[in-house]
Every structure is written in C-alpha cells, then in structure tokens.
Structure 1
Amino acid sequence: MPAPRPVVKKVVKLLRAWAVLVDLLVVVAAIAVLLNPDATWTVIMLAVPLLVMMWRTRRSLTRRLKSVGGLGEYLIGRYLLLIVGIVQAAHHGIPTALWTVAGILLALALEAERFELRMHRRIRPYAAHLPDRDTEHRPRFAYGYLYSLGVLGLVLLVLAPVIGTAGAWALLVVAVLAVLVALAALVDIVRRIARRSSTLREMPEIVEQLEPRFFVYWSAQRGSAFQITMWLPHLERLGVPFAIIVRSDANFRDLEGVVDAPLILRRTLADLDSVIVPSARATFYVNNAVLNNHMIRYSELLHIQLLHGESDKAASSNPVTRMFDRDYVAGQAAIDRFAARGISMPDSIFRIVGRPQVEDVEEARGPIGGIEAPTVLYAPTWQGFHQDAQYSSLLQGPDLVRRLLGRGCTVVFRPHPYSYRTQALRDACEQIKALLVADGESTGRPHLHGFAAEKEMTVFDCFNASDAMISDVSSVVGDYLHSEKPMAMISMHATADEFRREFPTSRAAYVIEGADGGLIDIDGVLDTMLGPDPMSQVRKDFATYYLGDIPRDSYAERFLAVAREDLGITVQGGTDVVSGPGAP
C-alpha cells in the first residue's frame, strides 16, 4: 500500500532540511582547507562522510523524483566540495592537466543537472494511448545516473591527495561519463519537449480524427481510479470510439497504466474547448466533483451522471445532480431517495439501468444455516469528507473480527481504499490483518486480506468468495443485494430504528448498533444472520427495488440499451452503427 500523502510530505520536508545541513557542513570543510591547504585528513574526515550520506540518500530521492533520481540535490555542497578538491589536488602535486580537465567536466555536469531538472519538470503529462502517436512523456533512461556519477567524481577528487595520479585518471573517466550522460539527457529532454509541443498544437485535429462518440470526464482525489475503471468495461461494450478527459496530473497518472482508451489531460477551460469535436454526442461523469461544471457548460453534449455506486450516502442524492441531462440509476430506490430528502427532480432526468458491474455476482450456494463454517466478508467504508458522511465502523472492526473468528468463520477483509489515508483507520486495518494472520496460522483457515483481497481480487470476487457480508452505509451493500446472501450493516451514530429510517437499504439487512465503547448485541445479530436468516425474502424484494427489475441472465444489457439510445447507436446484425442527430 503506498505511503499516505502526509507521510510523504514529512519525508520530503526532512530531506530538504537534511540537504541544508549537509551544505552547511561542507562550508565548514571548504573553510578549513582554504585556511590550511595541508589539512588533508581534516577535509577527508569532514567531506567523505557527507559524500557517503549523499550517495545513500540517492535511493530515497530516486523514489521521490522517480527517474530523475537526486538530480539537482545538494548543489551548493557539491560545488564547494569541487572547489575544495581542486585546491587539495593542486596543493599535493596531482598532474594539473588531469584535475583541471576533470574539474571543468564535473562543473559542467553539475550545471547541467540544474538546467535539466528545471526543463524536465516543465514536461508535464498531456496524453496517452493516442493511435499512431508517441505520447511517452517519461525519460528514456534514468537521469539519476548523472547524480550518482557526480557524487562518485567528488569522492575521487576529495581523495586525490591519498590515491594520487591513478585516482586522477579514474576521476577523468568518471567526469567524461557524467558529461556524456548529461548530453544524452539533454537530447532526450529536447526530443520530449518537441513531441509534447507538437501533440498539444495538433490536439484538436487528433481528437477529431479519433471521432469519439462520447467522453468520460473525470476529476477526483489521487488514488480514486476505481471510480472510473468500474465503468470502462461496460462503456467499451457500446462499440464506439470514446476518449477519457482528466483534469490533473495525479488523475492522469492514476489511469495511464490501467486504461487502453485515449487519455487526454486538459488543465484549463480553454484546453477543454479544443477537444469538443462534432462527432461527440455525450459526456459520462462518475462523481460529483466541482470541476464537472467546467464540462457541463457545453450544451451541445448530453451530460450523463453515472456515479460510482448505489448507496444511501448523501452523495447519491446530491442536489447538483439537477445540472445533468440524465441520471443513470440502478433502480427505483435511487429516484425515491431524492424525494425522501425533499429534493425536487424532473422525472425526465432518470433512467433505470441497473448496476451492470454486478452481472457476474453469483447467487448464494444455499441457505446460510446449512453452511457449517461460513465465509463472511467485512467491507467497511471510510470516514468520508464531511460530518454527514462519517459512516465507518473500522474502529470497531477488530472486535467484530474477533467475534467472527470465535464462531469459526473464515473472513474476507476488504476496507475502502481511502481507509489508509487516516491514521486511526489505518491502524485498525493493521490490527484486523494481524488477527487474521494469527488465526490462519493456528487454524489453517484461508482468510483473505491485504494484497490478495484488495488488489488481486475485485470487490465482486470478494462477494463471490463469501456467504455473508457485514458493511456500513456503502455502495457495496446495494451491489451485494444481487447475490441474495445475508448481510448486516453497522449503525455508528443512531439506534437501529433511526438507522433504518435514514438509510432504507438497511431494511434489507440485519443492523448492528455501534457506539464508541463497541458494538451492541453483536452476538445476537450474528446468531440470527448466520442461522435462521428470516430476512431472505425481504432481500429479494429489495434487490428488485434497488437494482432494477431486470432479468438476471441479461442484466448488463439494460445499461447498454439505454446508453445506445442516448448516444444514437443502433445495432444491426451484431454491429454497432452510429446514427441519429449529431452522427458523423
């Protein structure tokens, strides 16, 4: 799991502070040698440990700056060490020509680092997966080699009085290699800048040649790719060209390696103007991001809200939905949710399309009471951005998992991806994983958690691996209804009756009341859910209400049919044909 952003920021801040300290210590070494050129061992004792620190630090810097490594770091200190080394070499009779040429080459390499780092940072991502167009914006090789060679050269230069003429020749070789790497990096940077400029200049023509029938527009927090990737397989089944538009570098990098469709980064309003082409009929949205309004202003497009899950969360009945032309909802429950919250909506906006993602969710293998050692999925949500969205039960999760293990259950643990962004929730996740590891080692039960449950498996794979589920107010509850398996929801801030009134999905689930001190009557709820399960028929009725009255064997076809109608696509002989107003 990647390190949370606050931790990364602290590490970067520490590295920056450390760089200043190193520079100051190098100043001390420089003053010492300039005052007393005979102080060879004093210089070595001061400079070499600092150079070793620089060398060791390059790995952390490489992770932070990726392929540019430590380029541009410790420049003040390295320039001073270069001066110190040259003075030392001259004072101890090292051949003048060797150290002069090597010193000049090292100085050129140092200056090249600063220039090339500045130029590299200007080459921000812009597009990916454009047909017949090389849009690779990353370096062809690791520019960080230049940093490593520069530090190695300084080590040899500082040690010149000790290693003599042979070391001077080695220094010259290293300096030449550093200059060659700098030249190669410069050529690569110029090539990347030219390619980027050419692509951006020709972007309107490129998009027009793509003839996208629709766009998928996305702006979100970093690490939210699941919002859009859950829809792409179904949008691809529409059988017409489309492009994905994102608004930030972070969103671009989230999607670049996981999608095949043309991916275009547009940072400003003016940037968006250049990609709105005549072939485009509609734009799909998957969240309520503020920047959606930048795209919604193009009135010639049909604007369709998909969201990224069916749940009773506040986001599912946000009044901003009024600005869209269509709101694709899973079932009648999503429409009634607006009315229940006093939000008036035009009837023409809604289209019931089901949740195509659940088409591969398997039905229960039999009554839960007949399964001797059931597998229970625990899928808690995260704390949310706002007070009205703090539904997570994760802090009570360790207690819940202990109860399940005590009953002999196998546990599948899949928390919301955002859970790792909060220290308290992250700690709870680690406690739960530790419990499952320890129980698995002692009992042999094949619990699923960590990478296996969160990366290798989809949430629907987790559904199929389980016999029952426990969750919070979350879209996984609505999706799990399709399996008709028993489930429980945890109410963190209300009694069971209040919870059922506020979140209608819970009327199809067993409710566990949560409190700061723990979970109330959890054993009684688990006895009922994993035993007689009296709510079996209720879940079936709610599945129709929440996920649409759609035949199970052709469930995803409803979404495809409605989308094709809105996009003006007809199907003839198994082939999608673009037709209707606005067809190219």
Structure 2
Amino acid sequence: MLSTLKGLIKPRRLVALALAGLVAVAVALEASWLVPVVIALVVALIVVPLNQRVGPTMKARLPSAGYLARFVAGAGRSAAAIWLSLGALGTYAALREDGRDWAVGLVFLIGAGSTAMSTLASRPALRGDLRLSTIAQAQARTIPWAIASVYLAAILTLPALALWPGVVATTLSILAAILAFAGIVMVLRRITMRGRIREQVLGQISGSSPRSWSTSPARTAPRTRLKMWLPFLEEAGLPYVVVARQEALFTEPALHHGPPRHLRGLAACRGRGAGALRWHRDLRQQRRGEHPRGAPLPACTTCRFFTATPTRRRAATPSAPCMTSLWVAGQAAIDRYWDHGIGIPAERFRIVGRPQVSGIEGPREAVEGGKVALYAPTWNGFFGDANYSSLPHGVEIVQALLDLGLTVIFREHPYSSKSAALRAAIADIHALLAEDARATGRQHRFGPTLFEELDLIGCFNACDMAVTDISAVTNDFLFSGKPFAIMEMQPDTLVRAEGRPTLASAAYTAVPGDDVAAWIGELVHDHGKADAREAAREHYLGAFDREGYTDVFVNAVRDTVATHRLEGELDTE
C-alpha cells in the first residue's frame, strides 16, 4: 500500500493531474484563464511522458523503448487527468450558447472513448496472448502507433471543448475523430488476430519438438532466477521452452502466456514436458473440487529447482509437495523441510548440487598486500521477520577488519538502496573505506566501480575470507572452502543440530551485542574450522567433486527427460 502511494506522489506524475485540477477550477469560476491552462495541460500530457523511462513490462510489450514507447507508456499514467478535464470541459461546452449539444456530446464521446482505449489497449491487445519472444516485435509493431493515436485523439478533444464553438474547435474535433478511428481499428484488428497468432506460436513450438518445459509461474519472479538456470539447460543440449507469466522476462528466449487457462493449448504440442502443464491444471482443479481427488493425474514428471539451499524461515514452502520431484543442492535442503514438519518422502528429492557455484575457486595463494576480506551483507527483506541485514553494524564490522590490517571488498545487496537507514549505513562504510585508503594506501573495493568490475563470484575469488549474514551468499561461499563469519541478526535463525553439519558449526558466529573485534579476530586467525567447513559444503552443496560439478545437474536433466513417458490423450478443450 505504501509503495503504491509513493508511486502516485512522484512530482512528474502529478503535473498533469494538478493542471487538470486547475482546469476544473477555471470552469467552475468561468475564469478567463481557462484556455491557457488547457494549453498547458495539453503540453504536459505530451512532454511529460517523453521524459519518463519505460518500465520493464512496457519494454516487453513494445518493439522499442524510444520516444514512441515513452509516449505510449504515459497514456495510462495520464488517464486520471484527462478524465477530470473531460468532465469539466464537456459540461462547460454544453452550457455555452450555440453549443449544439449533439456535437459537444460527440466530441466528448470521442475523448472518453479514446481515453479508455489508450488505457486499456495494451492489455487486451497484448496481455493474455500466447506468443513467442522471438516474434514479439513483429506482433507488437502496430500497437504503439495505435495507442499513440487514441491517446493523442483524447488530448486534442480537450482544447476543442475549451474553445467550442468555432473553426479551431471543429478542426481539432475532426482530427481527433480521425486519429481515434485509426487507432481503434488497429487495436481491434490486433485483437481479432489473436487466434491466428496463437496457432502460429503453437506451430513453431511443435516444429522445435521441445523435450522439456521450464516455467516461471510467479508474476514477480526476478529475471535473475530464470537466467541463472538457462546456461545449464543449454548445456543439456535438449530443445526446451520457457513459459513466463512475468512480461519483464519476455526479452529472454521465452514463451509468454497470460492467465493460466492459456496453458491448456500448449499440451497439443506433444512435447515431453507438455503433460506437466496439464498436470498443473488438473491439480488446480482438484484443489477447487472440479477434478476427482481419486482420479489419476497424467504420468509426467514435474521438477522444482531451488535457487539455493533454504536457510530463511520462509524458504521451506508447503507448495513443494505438489511437485513429483524436488531437485535440491544438498541434504541440508531436505532436512530443512523435515525440520519444518513438511513430510515429503525422501525418494521425491534428488540431490543435484548447485551448478551456479562451479566458478567459485578455492583458497588463494598468499599475495602481496596481505589478506582480503569480503563483507557482503543482505538487505532488510519485505517483512520484519525476514530482516537479516547486518548493515546497521556494518561500520563496526568493517572497522574491525581494518584494525587487523585487512583490505576490504564491500558488496552490499542491490536492494539495500530501498531503505533509507541501510543507504545511510552504506554511505558511512564507503566514507570509512575511502578514508582508510587515503591513510594506508590499501586498495579497498566498493561502490559502483566494484559492481562494474566484479560479480559476486568474482568477489568470492578475490578474497581470503568473508563476513555475511543470513542469505544465499553464505551457502554459495561454502564452495570456496574459505573461512567465513555470520552475524545472526535474529535469534535462533541458524540451524544447530548435534551430529549434523550446519552453517552454524562451519562459521564464526556472532549476534548483536557481541564483541565484534573479538569475533572478527577469530575469523582472521581461523583455528579448527576447516574440517567443519568441508563437511558443511558436502551437506549443503552435495558430496560431488569440484571437477565436473555442473555435470551432475546437466546429466539429471538429460536422464529425467529420457526416462519420462507421457501416457494417455491430452484434452486441450
């Protein structure tokens, strides 16, 4: 709710609405400055969108992100201002002498219809379609012009009503009618072609003979969650299709669909993964009582890949039992479900490692300049019980590292900038590192330059130890075998189980209020934790050799696709 309000109060979005309010006031007062305000509103409705960026969703819908796309994206943002002005100006024109009510009503209808169409055109014209990203640009080529036409038509009706009656008003009205007609025809043509495009997409998929499907069902799933798996699906060497419900992912090699009902037609493609889509539909029907609970589901394999070993409380979700196979990095992920009382049979799990860590190197040789420590805190999360960020103690942590003569790599979570408190902590750490670099000559790495030069794995390979908190960073860093420390911001977050390798047993841990200098000192001297780290690495990331580590996952994909058999007919009605 708060984020929505923040989006509404952006100054540039309020310009047109404020001017529309002035138009309404001028109409009520019958002020002489009505026409200048309307002209200013028209200018704002055209100019302001051109200075705003195009969001990821609109980028996915439109063939380019240039000025036309900005203009189109602004159509939806300006609807409230146009509606307010239309209502006021329509009443004003209708009440004037010689107003010709039928003509005023027609102009008002052109403006109202164009406003509604400019707001909704991108949805019925593009959303809900079954389409391939490879042909998205061809499909969307006329859409920007259609939306721009109806949006401009709506804008032109405003000065027409303000100047009514007269030659100028009539000319503007005729031009608005022409633009509205052209835009609406293009949109309707696009909508009527949806069935033909659907068949085209299904034909292209069928022609590629996909052996598996990869889905990204959540509308809010970050693009990185999809992209981290694509290289390994490519390495498997099998044709596949990515089904994405988030339009921002549509720039990837993906098939996009809107509502879940559109998945049903994909079953006709006869790919080996098509049954999974039908399986999902029947499972939903079971939950709604539309599909008999005792009736057999299609014999297909549905796998869920985990981005990392679950560590946080919210990571072990009850939805996992819906999958026929759960692919996890190591035994720790299985234990996490069992610890939370989610009784998934052991045979449903498959340990495949975490191929994304294969580029992480082991301990470094001694280098000139001394040891390097990485401080990689997480952000504060969406919920209070998911706030594991150690950044409020970041200055103290970094100061302790500096006092022991270490060079520091500071890489905060990119989402940390969403919090004012965390931004302030980051700024303080940057200032501390910059001052120490001037005083000692140590080449600390931080800020935008670091993000340009090194990704997270690059930071792992450039350091000798790490300080983190509760996040996937810790799990991945295990693969390096290097010492690491965890600040546990909330009590009893880390699993501690006697006789079981855990992050808590492998790390040097601390909680707020502990002696940070002493804690960091234990990390730097690293006495007696090497064996615990190796045991934890196998427990969390699989007991596989470093050489050929990614082959475990790739071979699992190949084996699953090769042994999967789809039985029975698929009803696509």
Same fold per superposition (TM over 0.5): yes
- Alignment partners' CA distance in 1, 2:366 and 2:285: 49
Cα displacement string for residues 433-474 of structure 1 (whole angstroms, at most 9, x for unaligned residues): 323443465436453345963x88543233234332222232
Q: Is the 8 A contact 1:126 1:264 kept in 2?
A: yes
C-alpha displacement at 1:511, in angstroms?
0.6
- Alignment partners' CA distance in 2, 1:498 and 1:333: 10
C-alpha displacement at 1:177, in angstroms?
6.0
- Of 5, 23, 26, 1:26 maps to 23
For 1:333, the equivalent position in structure 2 comes to 332
- Alignment partners' CA distance in 2, 1:540 and 1:520: 27
- Alignment partners' CA distance in 1, 2:355 and 2:115: 51
Q: Does 1:280 find its partner at 2:272?
A: yes
Question: What amino acid maps onto 1:213 in structure 2?
Answer: R
- Alignment partners' CA distance in 2, 1:282 and 1:382: 39
- Of 515, 522, 526, 1:521 maps to 515
**After superposition, where does 1:391-402 map in structure 2 within 5 Å?**
391-402=388-399
Cα displacement string for residues 47-106 of structure 1 (whole angstroms, at most 9, x for unaligned residues): 556656656655688868862423644234246447868999999xxxx9xxx9999889
Q: Is the 8 A contact 2:377 2:391 kept in 1?
A: no
Q: Is the 8 A contact 1:312 1:504 kept in 2?
A: no
- Alignment partners' CA distance in 2, 1:58 and 1:131: 28
Deviates more, 1:473-482 or 1:309-318: 309-318
C-alpha displacement at 1:526, in angstroms?
1.3
Question: What amino acid maps onto 1:300 in structure 2?
Answer: A
Cα displacement string for residues 450-503 of structure 1 (whole angstroms, at most 9, x for unaligned residues): 5963x8854323323433222223222221111122211111233799857699
**After superposition, where does 1:553-572 map in structure 2 within 5 Å?**
553-568=547-562
C-alpha displacement at 1:350, in angstroms?
2.6
- Alignment partners' CA distance in 2, 1:352 and 1:32: 74
For 1:531, the equivalent position in structure 2 comes to 525
Q: Is the 8 A contact 1:469 1:487 kept in 2?
A: yes
C-alpha displacement at 1:309, in angstroms?
0.5
Deviates more, 1:349-358 or 1:21-30: 21-30
For 1:186, the equivalent position in structure 2 comes to 184
For 2:289, the equivalent position in structure 1 comes to none
SS of the residue 1:360 aligns to: coil
Q: CA distance change for structure 1 residues 17 and 398 in 2, over 3 Å: closer, same or farther?
A: same
Cα displacement string for residues 411-452 of structure 1 (whole angstroms, at most 9, x for unaligned residues): 3323274x566xxxx224312432344346543645334596
**After superposition, where does 1:245-394 map in structure 2 within 5 Å?**
245-246=243-244, 251-257=245-251, 259-260=252-253, 262-268=254-260, 270-276=261-267, 277-281=269-273, 294=284, 298-314=297-313, 317-318=316-317, 320-338=319-337, 344-366=343-365, 372=370, 374-380=372-378, 382-383=380-381, 387=385, 389-394=386-391
SS of the residue 2:237 aligns to: coil
SS of the residue 1:477 aligns to: helix
Q: CA RMSD in A?
A: 4.8
Q: CA distance change for structure 1 residues 116 and 331 in 2, over 3 Å: closer, same or farther?
A: closer
For 2:423, the equivalent position in structure 1 comes to 430
- Alignment partners' CA distance in 1, 2:396 and 2:243: 43
SS of the residue 1:240 aligns to: coil
Question: What amino acid maps onto 1:431 in structure 2?
Answer: A
C-alpha displacement at 1:302, in angstroms?
0.7
Question: What amino acid maps onto 2:424 in structure 1?
Answer: Q
- Of 464, 489, 505, 1:507 maps to 505
For 1:77, the equivalent position in structure 2 comes to 85
For 1:475, the equivalent position in structure 2 comes to 472
Instruction: Determine what percentage of the aligned residue pairs are the same residue.
Output: 21
SS of the residue 1:351 aligns to: strand
- Alignment partners' CA distance in 2, 1:532 and 1:84: 80
- Alignment partners' CA distance in 1, 2:496 and 2:387: 13
For 1:36, the equivalent position in structure 2 comes to none
Q: CA distance change for structure 1 residues 61 and 335 in 2, over 3 Å: closer, same or farther?
A: closer
